[in-house]
Structure formats: C-alpha cells, structure tokens
Amino acid sequence: MPISKPHSTLGATNTSSCSDLAMYLEKENNDLDKLLKKTNSINDKRKIESRKQFFFSHSENNISTNQVISTIDSNIKKLGKKDAKYFAPTINFSKEELKHIIQSVTDKKDAKNVWELNIQEYELYNNKIKEYTKLIMTNYAKNFNRENKGLKSGNDLVYFAKIEHFRKFKGIDDEVLKGIYKTGDLKPGINSHVHLIVSRKDKTQKLKLTPTTKERSTTRTIGGNTYHVGFDRMKWINMNEKSFDDFFQYKRKEREKFINQYILKNGSPKEKAALLKEIETKEQVIENTQNYVKNNTRNTSKRWRW
C-alpha cells in the first residue's frame, strides 16, 4: 500500500526555513548534471535533461526551488518562533504497485529501472504519479475535517511535491554490511517515491494544520467558538490506498491491504492466526474462480473450433 508518513522532515528542523530540505531534494537533478558533464552527445544530453524532475503543486508544474522556499517560508502568519512551519510527508509505493503503474502506461511488463522507459513513457509515468499525489493531498485536507472552514481539497493547501526515482544504499543496510554493495550505490529496481513540503497553514493562513497530533478527531469550544482538531493517520493511509486502487484500477491482494498488514504486524497471536485463515480462504476462493473461468473459456473455445 502507498505508505504516507506525515511526520517526516528528513532530519531537518521544521521550525525555521524549509530551504535546507528544498535544496536537499535537488540531489537527483544534481546527479543528472554530473552525467551531463560526462557526455558530448547532443542526443544523450537531451535524454538526460528530460529525466530531471521539478517541484509541482496542486495547480502548477515546473516550480523552481527558490519559489518553493519563498512560498512556504512566507506562509507562517501567527506562527511562533518554536512552532512547526511545515511538514514533509513521503509517499512510498510497494514494488507491486510501481510495477502496476508502469504496466498501466507502457507495454513494459518487467522494466528493471526507469531508464528503460523512453521519453514519452517516462513523462506519462510521472504524470500519473503526479495526479495520484494530488488525490493524496485532497485526502490530507479532508482528513482534518475542516470543510466548514473552507478546507475542502488539496487546492486549499500550500504544498509542493517532487518525484524521485532512485534510492541509495546506506551504511546500515544489510547489503552494505555484507559487502554486496557500497554506501551510496543505487538500489536496484524501480524505486519511485514522492517527497512533499506542506505548509503548517492553509492558503488563507487562518487554519493551523498539524498531521502529527495525537488527537484523531476532537471538537473543542473556546470563547464561544467551536472548531475541530485532529488528524487520523490510519484513516489517511486507508483513504490513500483506496484512491490508488480506484485511480490505477489496481486489484489489491488481501495480504497487501494496509489493515491486514497492520494486524499481522501488531495484532495478538490469536488475531494474526484468525486473519491468516481468513486470507487463505479468500485466496483459495479467488484461485478456484480464476481456474473455473480459465477452464470454461478453454472448453468454449474448443466447442467452436471447426
């Protein structure tokens, strides 16, 4: 399932400028610039340039890093010096989900990495991820339950997103410790993911939005004014999973569902055993149905063969 972590700031403090984070997210473009310097081929340069990713918002593409910093850093009305100014969620897909996205936009069933996509396929692949990201941010806005205050969709937020396609090994990874790879080596396979920088305040700068709050859904009344607080992270992940399945027409297996994975990881032994039995039963029913359809189709084809 697409795991979305609202608390991540990639090690940067989020009580001041987002400049360090925004500049850090230029790392893949910087790596591509290094590749550009190694080739004199105009065709190769064109291909490398086409791989660069830029920030996008709910309504714009190709946004500069300076604009991101300026916009986020200025959207802080009535926030104190020690208050969080922004949050940096990440959208991380499973291998099965990424494979499905690529198959849905190309004819490539077993692409080993994004370099195997041509320029047109690569652009379409990125556009699909962008559109899905916007669905996630609308889910983010709705999860605050402030529609009566004008917070209805991702368009009411101040956020910027950037797609990355590579991950690198770190010194603590098993593959590095075993000597298979070195720190900084690119991880094999499709590793596309999305980084976001989301302002603490909405577009109007009237609402303070905190996705890391421990409260899931609470109504408070102060000075005669009633307002809603809270953010249900579990609900957000489930909403994003449903949005993925609907948008990409993805038939998610029982074992892939977030709620099932959560129970298998955190449930009691009794809960885990009961769920595994339920999953196995459902999988067997699906397998039997598929075999029946396959055999029935084959027999029908034989009857009509001349």
Please name the residues in contact with 9: beta carbons below 8 A apart, sequence gap of 6 or more.
21, 87, 88
Q: What is the pLDDT of residues 16-73, one digit of tens each?
A: 999 999 999 999 999 999 999 999 999 999 999 999 999 999 999 999 999 999 999 9
* Confidence grade of residue 220 (pLDDT, cut at 50, 70, 90): low
Q: What is the pTM of this model?
A: 0.88
The reported pLDDT for the residue numbered 286 is 78
pLDDT average, residue stretch 93-115:
90
Helix axis angle, 119-142 to 95-105, nearest 10° = 120
Q: Where are the domains of the chain?
A: 3-252, 265-306
pLDDT score, position 83: 93
pLDDT at residue 300, rounded to an integer: 62
* pLDDT at position 288: 80
Between the alpha carbon of residue 290 and those of residues 35, 47, 109, 250, 283, the distances in Å are 48, 42, 21, 17, 11
Q: What integer is the mean pLDDT of 158-166?
A: 97
CA nearest to 138, candidates 123, 157, 125: 157
Residue 59: predicted pLDDT: 96
From 5-19, 77-91, 148-162, 234-248, the region with the lowest mean pLDDT? 5-19
Position 176 pLDDT exceeds 60: yes
Task: State residue 62's pLDDT score.
Answer: 96
For the stretch 254-264, pLDDT in tens is 999 999 999 99
Quick one: pLDDT at residue 11?
A: 56
Q: Report, as an integer, the average pLDDT of 145-170.
A: 95
pLDDT at residue 103 in the model:
92
Mean pLDDT of 71-88: 95
Overall average pLDDT of the 182-198 stretch? 94
Least confidently predicted of 68-82, 187-201, 292-306: 292-306
pLDDT, one tens digit per residue, over 199-217 is 999 999 999 999 987 766 6
Per-residue pLDDT, 282: 85
Distance CA 69, CA 21 (A): 9
Query: For residue 18, which of 89, 120, 86, 82 has the smallest C-alpha distance?
Result: 86
What are 238's two structure tokens?
Answer: 């489930």
Residue 107: its pLDDT value, please? 79
Amino acid at 58: H
pLDDT the model gives residue 110: 82
Strand-pair partners of 195: 90, 162
Output the DSSP codes for the chain.
--EEETT--TT--SSS-SHHHHHHTTHHHHHHHHHHHT---HHHHHHHHTT---BB-SS--SB-HHHHHHHHHH--TT--TTS--EE--EEE--HHHHHHHHHHHSS-SS-SSGGGS-HHHHHHHHHHHHHHHHHHHHHHHHTT--GGGT--SGGGS-EEEEEE---B--TTSHHHHTTSS-TTPBPSS---EEEEEEESB-TTS--B--TT-S-SSEEEEETTEEEEE---HHHHHHHHHHHHHHHTT----GGGSHHHHHHHHHS-HHHHHHHHHHHHHHHHHHHHHHHHHHHHHHHHHHHT--
Cβ(286)–Cβ(261) below 8 Å: no
Averaged confidence pLDDT in the chain: 89
Q: How far is Cα 188 from Cα 110, in angstroms, rounded to an integer?
A: 13
pLDDT tens track for 222-253: 556 666 678 999 999 999 999 999 999 999 99
Say if CB 98 and CB 149 are below 8 A apart: no
